Amino acid sequence: MTVETSTAAMIKASEVNKFFGDLHVLKDINFEVPRGQVVVVLGPSGSGKSTLCRAINRLEPVNSGVIHVDGKELPKEGKALAALRADVGMVFQSFNLFAHKTIVDNVMLAPLKVRKQKKPEARESAMQLLERVGIADQSEKYPAQLSGGQQQRAAIARALAMRPKVMMFDEPTSALDPEMVQEVLDVMTNLAKEGMTMFVVTHEMGFARRAAHRVMFMADGEIVEDTTPDDFFTNPKSDRAKDFLSKILTH
């Protein structure tokens, strides 16, 4: 391991293993994501995609191996870990907007409490972000009053408000009604175009083809294929990837 590679990579996982009891969920995971790259992670249910995603900001601690984010090893706990998480944006399948706060307060909370921004400043950038994801007119509503697509866009704005170095998405559109999927993918595609480093677990093949630089295919806790989207979709090497593709492409 040289210094250059670890400073160049935004995310670097080395020999990462994770168990849930006896279940070996992540098996010797190794990869690097360079700055500005958009990675789409694919794989059948239970293959460990969410666990990997959550391991990267230590929402799920791993049993062995090392994860670096922007050249820094993940801190175990405390202030340093919180500081790292502030730099890693996370978007969940179930949105997880704070139910008791308005949309704009959701977006402002962490800039105020973690980044210690002044209120007018935080509010202004929150409104700009909501504008950017197209829901500025919903800013004073509560999450439950918004559609799923709007909630997910608000959740993306909330993550972006911390000016993260990298954005993680764990199936951001799977909980949405079909007609709302595109509005969220559009926001993500724009983000990719702007050069954000993105790690996206999704089954949206259109997004993978259009916006991703790279596809990682996981099965049974292993990264089975790691290649360009084009190569993966037209020329899958492993049987498991072929099987997986035949199943989702017939949908």
Partner 1 sequence: MVDDLAFLFDKYNVVAAFWVTVQLAVLSAIGSLIWGTALAAMRVSPVPIMRGFAAVYINAVRNTPLTVILVGSSLGLWQTLGVTLAGERATEVNFRLAILGLVAYTSCFVCESLRSGINTVHVGQAEAARALGLNFGQVLGRIVLPQAFRSVIGPLASVLIALTKNTTIAAAISVAEAAALMKTMVENEAHLLFLVTVIFAFGFVFLTLPTGLILGWVSKKVAVKR
**Is 240 a binder of partner 1 (CB under 8 A)?**
no
Taking the C-alpha atoms of residue 126 and residue 161, their distance in angstroms, rounded to an integer, is: 7
**Is 150 a binder of ligand ATP (CB under 6 A)?**
no
Q: Which tokens is 192 given?
A: 């990719």
Please report, as residue ranges, which positions from 27 to 56 form the binding site for Mg ion (by CB under 5 A): 50
- Tell me the closest approach of the beta carbon of residue 71 to ligand ATP, in angstroms: 26
**Is 189 a binder of partner 1 (CB under 8 A)?**
no
Q: Which is nearer to ligand ATP, 146 or 181 (CB)?
A: 181
For 151, the enclosing helix (H) or strand (E) is helix 148-160
**Is 142 a binder of partner 1 (CB under 8 A)?**
yes
Q: Which is nearer to Mg ion, 50 or 102 (CB)?
A: 50
Q: Which tokens is 75 given?
A: 């801190």
Q: Which is nearer to ligand ATP, 43 or 164 (CB)?
A: 43
- Is residue 43 within 8 A of residue 218, CB to CB? The reply is yes
Report how far apart, in Å, the C-alpha atoms of 195 and of each of 17, 189, 198 are: 30, 10, 9
The bridge status of strand 23-34 relative to strand 197-201 is: unpaired
Tokens 């009891």 sit on residue? 21
Burial 37-49 (b: 16+ CB within 10 A, else e): bbbbbbbbeebbb
The stretch near partner 1 (CB under 8 A) out of 13-21, 29-37, 81-89, 239-247 is 81-89
Q: Which is nearer to ligand ATP, 70 or 171 (CB)?
A: 171
**Can you give the binding site for partner 1, defined by CB under 8 A?**
57, 59, 79, 82-88, 90, 92, 94, 96-100, 109-110, 113-114, 142, 144-145, 155, 158-159, 162
